[in-house]
Amino acid sequence: MSTPAVNELLESFAQALIDQQYAAAHQCLASERRSTITPDDLEKQLGPDERHRFLCEIYEQDPDEADRLPNPDHFVIDGFPYRDAPADHVGEPVGWYCIDLQPDEDSGYDTSGQLGVFVVNTPEGYRIDQCEWIEPD
């Protein structure tokens, strides 16, 4: 179920990642997750270097030889209904969403990477419980 508050959370998170503002992205996480991960950790997991490594792994390319995808400049958010809630989630499950980070239309690429994001409802409001790179569709 997507609500304006969930959309606002996902938009804030996606824009923070595009802007490489990992401290701002960190604030979108559930407090239980913020206590175990730092903004620097978030950059290591979701930054451009990890995005490149993940995509090279999927497409079986050498990261040192493969072209890097352009940095994203906008995003599209969509539902991601075919995954179960993680067993170790915190808060009331809301659901999985896909954030498709997209490059400039003139780049010749359709995507700069896609993230699967699990949203929960907590006493502090809607927050991101888990987030991971996913294979682009």
| Strand order through the sheet with 125-134 | 74-79, 92-102, 113-122, 125-134
Average pLDDT estimate for 94-118: 87
Question: Which is higher by pLDDT, 49 or 105?
Answer: 49
pLDDT tens digit sequence for 7-38: 999 999 999 999 999 999 999 999 999 999 99
d(CA 35, CA 45): 16
Sign of CA dihedral 95, 23, 102, 134: negative
Average pLDDT estimate for 69-98: 88
Number of domains in the chain: 1
117 beta partners: 97, 131
pLDDT tens digit sequence for 117-131: 999 999 999 999 999
Q: Are 99 and 118 in contact (CB under 8 A)?
A: no
* Six token digits for residue 129: 């419980």
Which range marks the domain in which residue 57 is found? Answer: 4-134
Scan for tokens 């809301």, then name that residue.
94
- CATH number of residue 79's parent domain: 3.10.450
Scan for tokens 């804030």, then name that residue.
12
With bands split at pLDDT 50, 70 and 90, how would you rate the model's confidence at 1?
A: low
In this model, does residue 4 exceed pLDDT 60?
A: yes
